[in-house]
Amino acid sequence: MDERGKGMAADIAGQPEGYARLLGAEHAGAIAEVAARVAAKPPRHVVFTARGTSDHAALYAAYLTEIRLGIPAGLASPSAVTLYGARPDLRDALVVGVSQSGGSDDLVQVITAARASGAQTLAVTNNAGSPLAAAAELHIDVAAGHERAVAATKTYTAELLALLMLVEGVRAGDGRLPDGERAALAELPDLATTVLDDPTPVELAPRYRFAARVLTTGRGYAYPTARETALKLMETSYRLDARGGGPARGAPRRRGERRSVRCGRCGAADRYPGGGRALRAAAGHPAVATARAGPGARPGRGPGRAARPVQGDRHPVMLMIASAFSRRSFAGKRCGGRSSTATS
């Protein structure tokens, strides 16, 4: 493996161990205590504040909060507090700051202002001694361990799991996950190991080595990770334009669209009306899906449109967490991938 990618590869490979640690009695018990305190003082709404990768984890938690708890949730704009001096009335709210390092000054200011206004505040970090953890009333340690690369991987999926455990603990009422859910989550480290051992990504990645643009798409619980995947591609491949989106939140997959497949080497475009089958047929090229809106496109449900999630799914997140970052997923991108000893 290229020296530039060793740190990030080690972070990715450490995910199963991190999940097992987070699901262990010590950390699971600490999350249950926090969940019980939140459940004892039910919030009327939940506000998440985060930046970058953690913002995507917070978006996932907002979905969970509304779907699993039935409580309105949204993401704050830190600049409203830090730049414009706003002091929103957050009484009866739970305000959650999500940050791997816990060192973002703007998030600390938001949590401080929220706590002063009467909100219950919670920090979710990978650093129990961080300023954000100190500013909040409650704290959850995602227990991911030191992250070598600037591009966050294992801390992101650890945040997803910690936030899932929090929400399900609040839903239970006493903070403790039901036996069936704990048994299901106990399978996560092995699922992650299976995904990381799969050679398929490294076999597919070179096909897209010369891609100029990539669109990642998802909806519901998968939408935040679609955005995070686009961010990872841009962070590790400097000349790649990657965008993440979903039908419900601004992705260019709208009625009346036309899609095209463009070769990353020669720029030739092969337009086709909607759907994944044509994209797969063109996969012999280092091709990239792009979108075009126009009157000639077919409206309605195309063959590539994602199906609506099944309402009865218990843990649709589990495989998503396990597969969010395969250590080989970016093996074909050699346009300046980097690794660093800095903590993201």
Does any domain span residue 338?
Answer: no
Q: Is residue 334 part of a domain?
A: no
User: Which amino acid appears at position 324 of this protein?
Assistant: A
The CA distance from 37 to 39, in Å, is 5
For residue 233 the two structure tokens come to 């591609």
299 occurs within a structural domain: no
- Residue 36 shares a structural domain with residue 178: yes
Same domain, 140 and 31: yes
CB 279 within 8 A of CB 261: yes
Do 273 and 287 reside in the same domain of the chain? Answer: yes
**Residue 245's pLDDT is what?**
63
Helix axis angle for 154-172 and 52-64, nearest 10°, is 20
Domain identity same for 141 and 206: no
190 inside domain? yes
- Residues 342 and 198: their CA atoms lie apart, in Å, by 29
The reply to whether 108 and 156 lie within a common domain is yes
The 10s digit of each residue's pLDDT in 155-185 is: 999 999 999 999 999 999 999 999 999 999 9
Instruction: Look at residues 217, 215, 213, 276 and name the one whose alpha carbon lies nearest to residue 246.
Output: 217
Q: Are residues 14 and 76 in the same domain?
A: yes
Same domain, yes or no: 28 and 157: yes
Residue 242 belongs to a domain: yes
pLDDT at 323: 55
The total of other beta-carbon atoms located within 10 Å of residue 200's CB is: 11
Say if 222 falls within a structural domain: yes
Q: Are 69 and 172 in a shared domain?
A: yes
Q: Please report which confidence band the pLDDT of residue 238 belongs to, taking 50, 70 and 90 as the band edges.
A: low
Choose among 192, 186, 224: nearest CA to 53: 224
Q: Does one domain contain both 138 and 69?
A: yes
User: What residues make up the domain containing 22?
Assistant: 3-197+315-323
The Cα 144–Cα 138 span in angstroms is 18
pLDDT tens for residues 14-68? 999 999 999 999 999 999 999 999 999 999 999 999 999 999 999 999 999 999 9
Three-state DSSP class for residue 45? strand
pLDDT at site 246: 58
Q: Are residues 171 and 134 in the same domain?
A: yes
Longest dimension (CA), the chain: 61
- Name the pTM for this structure: 0.75
Q: What total of structural domains would you count in the chain? A: 2
Residues 14 and 156 in one domain: yes
